[in-house]
Amino acid sequence: MVLKVITAAIFVATFASSGLSKELLPEKCPTYWTAFGDHCYRFFGQRVNLREAQYNCRIHGSGGGFGYLASIHSQEENDFIGTIFKSSTPAESVNWHLWIGLNDEREEGNFVWSDGSDVNFTLWAPGQPEGGRSQ
C-alpha cells in the first residue's frame, strides 16, 4: 500500500492499495484517511519544512505500506486535495503553503513526483515554478 500525505508547510500523504480496483472503497482506507480513486489521502495540519513533510509521510504508511507526499495527476485530484485542505484548515490559515510531492531536488528544473509516477498534469501559478527553497 502506498500512502499520499497532504502537509503545510502542511502536507498531504497518499498510499495506493495494490491489487484493488481503480476505485478504492472508503472502508479500505485506514482511520483518518480518505479514499479518492485508487489512493488514500490524509491531511496533516502541522507546519513543517519539506524534509519533515517527506519523513512524516514515510512513517505514516499504513499496513506495512509506504507514504509519499501527494502526486497529482488530474484536475479532479487537484480539486479533491484542495477540498481536504480547506475543510481541515482554520479559515485564517488557508493561505499557508501545502507540500506535495513534485520537486526538482535531483536536477534543477527537472520536476519529478516523489513516488516515481509520471508528471502528466501541472497547474502552475503564474510565474511558477521559480525554484525558491521554500517550494
Summarised one tens digit per residue, pLDDT across range 50-83 is 888 888 888 876 555 678 888 899 999 999 988 8
- SS3 breakdown of the chain: % helix, strand, coil, rounded to 5? 20, 25, 55
When pLDDT is cut at 50, 70 and 90, the band that residue 109 belongs to is: confident
Identify the pLDDT of residue 79: 92
**Separation between Cα atoms, residue 97 and residue 45, nearest integer Å:** 11
Query: Which of the pair, 34 or 20, is modelled with greater confidence?
Result: 34
Residue 102: C-alpha distances to residues 25, 83, 97, 107, 110 (Å):
26, 19, 14, 12, 10
The pLDDT mean for the chain works out to 74
Confidence check: pLDDT of 99 > 80: yes
In eight-state DSSP terms, residue 30 is P
Rounded mean pLDDT, 114-134: 76
